[in-house]
Structure 1
């Protein structure tokens, strides 16, 4: 009788512990924090917000959205738990991963879209014409910065940080507009829709298109990431996030005109800049929305980080992809 009572007590305790564990798990996943940029490469994120795909996917879980000016700030927010998942360029992700960051790559959103633009009053034939010039990128170590350095490297050149003669200036794309007009920068490696906007306003022109930069436009422009601990604790929620991304990509492919309108509205809401639909349509010619991750190209990209001094002794991405 005593033995049966002991068994019953253990069973009740186990059930209580399981209930507490479930309650704790629910508490941990009562909200999801998603980060992204107001760039066309993050189009699936913007459509996911505008069409309510994120809200619909997570049922009773609160969805908090945060937008960022560059990948470095995004990765800081991910590392400190301010966001759980999101959209960001591959450069900051790989850079942080090689430094031991708590990040995993879980999918893809887009590729292409990154171009080199120069001021309209400057001549440009090839990268050698950037000798002694000031070239802007959104931040240090971002995808655009690394593409610039790779482009220069292929011509036997380098930015000043790597012992070369090209001065690199970190600036938000919106700020580059005024700097071009004031002739404080000569060129920039930027993403869309900024390149098309600069062309439309007559302050700069594209001289190296998206399919002409290193990796011929096949390098990911925006990937999906998560904190490793968040993925391990919430695999179903992350799966729902990936499903919402797929819905957004399908919507853009099947309803481009409507998608353009929604992205124009969304970008204006964040940046206070109203882009013409013609600008967005021009920009979309350089962007491919695709959820497929290409590990081999990303490994080559990581090897470049090591070569340029952004990583210390290992560029292996084993463990990054989930």
Structure 2
């Protein structure tokens, strides 16, 4: 059973107070250390509190519930929606939430570095090459007069980005800029909501922006901005996924396995290519995740790794970008094994009979 409510955003700094007391590596240094068979099926129903940002690529929980995958794993999931992933990290680290599906913000790496028991355990939906759900738009007048014809021409331009510095959106625009030989420091950042980008283009308060579906529709209709080739920078970009905290990783690893296993089964059986044309999938997104039906049917489909694997190279590149930008106070990227709960992933994938990635 899944029960959904909307929670207000909360500042990371305020919530982080006292979190470090939970320090230590996931699955160690606790009275309930993991056993060799910690991924065996549950024998009784367990309650799980779960948070997510309002994005179709992060809404696998609705499909896991509607398709019966949580029930099959004996999970009773209480879901909450948050404005941004940056608001959720401390809640998971403090045990106020068991897990969340969010964008990977800089503060998750800061939290791990400070000893907070929060880890990444999976990836989420990603852009396909032929029909991406995110694109960089540039004002039409700049495209027509030749001021901007390629990524390198964005140097010095005002770029609209949803979220604060250190958000997943910053990583995505950073990947695009790299294709043109630029860095985040080479452009002027304008933080604003995606819904306000069309107006910002009309008033010429921004020159370009990273726009996600469905907000691109208004821009396309107005003709105020045009898509700039990102040279494949957004294809398969991993900036989102599932995180878990001490409630599951240390105290209830068997439940952690069940939750991750349910989501992996969901993306393979319910969110395979063509899912937006399946009435039952659309209905779950509409009824359980509260997305408008026409939005679900018109949004380009996300693609999913079969085991929701977390790309090691991209995780390092993300940290390097945040460090260079100044939103992550580290001298070097944290090792993959400190950020991702590898043992949990390996046990879950093994329990599903798939090859670890």
| TM category, shorter | 0.7 to 0.9
1:1-322 alignment, distance < 5 Å: 31-54=47-70, 56-59=72-75, 62-92=76-106, 93-94=108-109, 96-112=111-127, 113-123=133-143, 124-139=148-163, 140-153=165-178, 155-159=180-184, 162=185, 164=186, 166-195=187-216, 198-199=219-220, 202-209=223-230, 212-213=232-233, 217-249=235-267, 250-253=269-272, 256=275, 257-258=277-278, 261-262=282-283, 265=286, 269=290, 275-276=294-295, 279-280=298-299, 283-284=300-301, 287-290=302-305, 291-309=308-326, 310-317=328-335, 318-322=337-341
Partner Cα separation in structure 2 for residue 201 and residue 56 of structure 1: 47
Please report the TM-score for the alignment, with normalisation by the length of structure 2: 0.66
Aligned length: 280
1:266-296 superposed Cα distances (whole Å, 9 cap, x missing partner) = 69836xx66445532xx22xx3112122223
Q: Which has the larger radius of gyration?
A: 1
Cα separation, 1, equivalents of 2:159 and 2:284: 28
Between the aligned partners of 1:199 and 1:99, the Cα distance in structure 2 is 44
Corresponding residue SS for 1:128? helix
**CA distance in structure 1 between the aligned counterparts of 2:258 and 2:80, rounded to whole angstroms:** 18
Q: Structure 2, unaligned stretches of length 5 or more?
A: 1-44, 128-132, 342-357
Contact 2:282 2:293 in 1 (8 A): no
Deviation at residue 226 of structure 1 after TM alignment: 0.3
Distance, in Å, in 1 between the alignment partners of 2:55 and 2:227 is 17
Assess, with a 3 A threshold, how the Cα gap between structure 1 residues 121 and 40 changes in structure 2: closer, same or farther: farther
> Aligned in 2, Cα 1:193/1:240: closer, same or farther, shift over 3 Å?
farther
Structure with more of its chain in helix, by fraction: 1
Q: Secondary structure at the match of 1:122?
A: helix
Deviation at 1:224, TM superposition (A): 1.4
Deviations 1:72-124 (A, max 9, x none): 11224323433211212234434543454431111222223543122344313
Cα separation, 1, equivalents of 2:222 and 2:289: 17
